[in-house]
Amino acid sequence: MPIEKPYRHKKIGDRVLAPETQMMGYGYDPGLSEGAVKVPLFQTSTFVFKTAEQGKAFFELAYGLREQGPTEEPGLIYSRINNPDLQILEERLTLWDGAEASLVFSSGMAAIATTMLTFLRPGDVFVHNEPIYGGTEHLVETVLPQFGIEREVFGSFPGAQTLEEAMKKAAARGRVGLIFVETPANPTNDLVDIAACAEVAAKYVGPDGRRPLVVIDNTFLGPLWQQPLQCGADLVIYSLTKYVGGHSDVVAGGCLGSEGLVGQVKGMRGVLGTTLDPHTAWLLLRSLETLKLRMTSAMKNARYVAEFLQDHPKVDKVHYLGFLAEGSPERAIFQRQCKSPGSTFSFEIHGGEAEAFRLLNHLHLVRLAVSLGGTESLIQHPATMTHSDVPEDRLRMIGVTPAMIRLSVGIEHPEDVIADLKQALEAV
């Protein structure tokens, strides 16, 4: 638990400070950096110990060889293990999600892989929803089985098995190590009920007294519009490359949760070396200051753009979370766990790949690039780009059609984005 210091105050009198307020100062003591208002960049690989005894004490704590003293702070050792930019970023990152602790990684994939390798062992079977991001799909389909770690899949598309069915099958095959969920799912925006996952996980306590952990990839809506830990999840994962970074200029990942669980992941991160570098951490501290402004602006713009596309005769379907049918089970999940539809969604153009490509090739403003959550609008074709690793029959099953296009709406003037889409649709 971080020690309570003035720069870690969460209240003024009775007033609990909002996360957007805390993004400018939380976790940083200017007194340790010549009074600099902003966190300096600690571009260093290693740190000088005052004495050999101090070095010994720092290592004992970092390697868990003894308990942390009541007034003791972890000492700085080596930037694969810790660094002030990382530590301050990790403290700030906990605030939106209400997490006890967090860790930052060199990418979202590094966060996912390191977390899975921390909690899964050969012989384990874990359960995940589908669709998921193509890179994660490749990890669980191709890489983890080489280490004896298998999976069972559940989904909300027609013919998919339910979470309960997948859990039963997984438990018959081995220890169920975790339930991994991407919600909303990339690229279809399918939703999974996080609280229901936690309830199901609680029924599967193994002989070691442990139940499967519920791990949520919250990249699409977090941390502003969905807080999975508050719905019963154990760990939250981010590609910080997306909304948190927010300027399409960094690659980073995060893992948030209780001190105990995050502590275990930290041990694995230190060994694998999937730690974030100080410069990117410093850039992310800057990004966090405007996170609410950016996500709010993009969310407002996305509604205009989604409404334009929905009314367009050349568009068959818009998978925007704001359009979920009243009274549908998806809408009930949305209302329970999401605070906004966010600003990334897919739509299906009338036709197939040729029509989709024609639209993509005629855009002037919206950038044809993978990724999402940046200040600029980005557009891509999941079936041949982010999800091209997924076998074709599986793509069809999960609803990723050749006509599907994914759009991440940025913070430009929404009428400009609409004008660009409009002229490109005319060319289709």
Ligand X SMILES: Cc1ncc(COP(=O)(O)O)c(C=O)c1O
Rounded to a whole number of angstroms, the minimum distance from the CB of residue 157 to ligand X is: 17
CB atoms within 10 A of CB 166: 25
The residue among 328 and 388 lying less far from ligand X, judged by its C-beta, is 388
To the query of whether residue 217 is one of the catalytic residues in this protein, the response is yes
Rounded to a whole number of angstroms, the minimum distance from the CB of residue 68 to ligand X is: 31
For ligand X, the binding residue among 40, 135, 263, 267 (CB under 6 A) is 135
Give me the catalytic one of 193, 217, 234, 420. 217
Q: Is 408 in the site for ligand X (CB under 6 A)?
A: no
Rounded to a whole number of angstroms, the minimum distance from the CB of residue 423 to ligand X is: 28
For ligand X, the binding residue among 124, 182, 277, 348 (CB under 6 A) is 182
Q: Is 232 in the site for ligand X (CB under 6 A)?
A: no
Give me the catalytic one of 80, 286, 367, 396. 80
Report the C-alpha gap between 151 and 302 in whole angstroms: 35
Of the listed pieces 101-109, 121-129, 189-197, 267-275, which binds ligand X according to CB under 6 A? 101-109
Tell me how many helices (H) and strands (E) the chain has. Answer: 14, 14
8 A C-beta contact, residue 326 and residue 291: no
Rounded to a whole number of angstroms, the minimum distance from the CB of residue 404 to ligand X is: 15
Half-sphere exposure of 388 (CA within 13 A, CB side): 7
Of the listed pieces 58-66, 106-114, 164-172, 224-232, which binds ligand X according to CB under 6 A? 106-114
To the query of whether residue 133 is one of the catalytic residues in this protein, the response is yes
Residues 6+ apart with CB under 8 A from 26: 7, 8, 91, 92, 95
Of the listed pieces 11-19, 133-141, 192-200, 286-294, which binds ligand X according to CB under 6 A? 133-141
Taken as a whole, the chain contains a residue count of 428
Query: What separation in angstroms does the CA of 243 have from each of 92, 259, 281, 357, 383?
Result: 15, 24, 15, 26, 23
The residue among 144 and 428 lying less far from ligand X, judged by its C-beta, is 144
To the query of whether residue 266 is one of the catalytic residues in this protein, the response is no
Of the listed pieces 12-20, 130-138, 145-153, 409-417, which binds ligand X according to CB under 6 A? 130-138
For ligand X, the binding residue among 115, 219, 227, 287 (CB under 6 A) is 219
The residue among 182 and 234 lying less far from ligand X, judged by its C-beta, is 182
Q: Which string of x and - marks every residue 1-20 that binds ligand X (by CB under 6 A)?
A: --------------------
Listed residue (117, 144, 124) closest to 266, CA to CA: 117
Residues β-bridged to residue 104: 254
For ligand X, the binding residue among 83, 87, 107, 340 (CB under 6 A) is 107
Expressed in percent and rounded to 5, the helix, strand and coil fractions of the chain are 40, 15, 45
To the query of whether residue 80 is one of the catalytic residues in this protein, the response is yes
Q: Is 322 in the site for ligand X (CB under 6 A)?
A: no
Sheet with 315-319, edge to edge strand ranges: 315-319, 344-349, 404-408, 378-380, 367-368
Rounded to a whole number of angstroms, the minimum distance from the CB of residue 406 to ligand X is: 10
DSSP 235: E
Rounded to a whole number of angstroms, the minimum distance from the CB of residue 342 to ligand X is: 12
Report the C-alpha gap between 424 and 428 in whole angstroms: 7
Size of the site for ligand X (CB under 6 A): 14
The two tokens of residue 66 are 């003894």
Terminal-residue alpha carbon distance, the chain: 57
Report the C-alpha gap between 265 and 179 in whole angstroms: 16
Listed residue (346, 158, 132) closest to 239, CA to CA: 132
Whether the link from the prior residue into 145 is cis, omega within 30° of 0, is: no
**Which 241-300 residues touch ligand X, going by CB under 6 A?**
241, 251, 253
Give me the catalytic one of 85, 97, 124, 133. 133
Assign residue 373 a region (left: φ > 0; alpha: ψ between -120 and 50; beta: otherwise): left
Of the listed pieces 107-115, 298-306, 308-316, 329-337, which binds ligand X according to CB under 6 A? 107-115
Calculate the CA dihedral of residues 13, 16, 95, 213 and round it to 10 degrees: 110
For ligand X, the binding residue among 25, 84, 108, 212 (CB under 6 A) is 108
Q: Is 357 in the site for ligand X (CB under 6 A)?
A: no
Give the residue carrying structure tokens 């009274």. 327
For ligand X, the binding residue among 62, 109, 153, 283 (CB under 6 A) is 109
Enumerate the active-site residues. Answer: 80, 133, 217, 242
> Footprint of ligand X on this chain (CB under 6 A)?
107-109, 133, 135-136, 182, 186, 217, 219, 239, 241, 251, 253
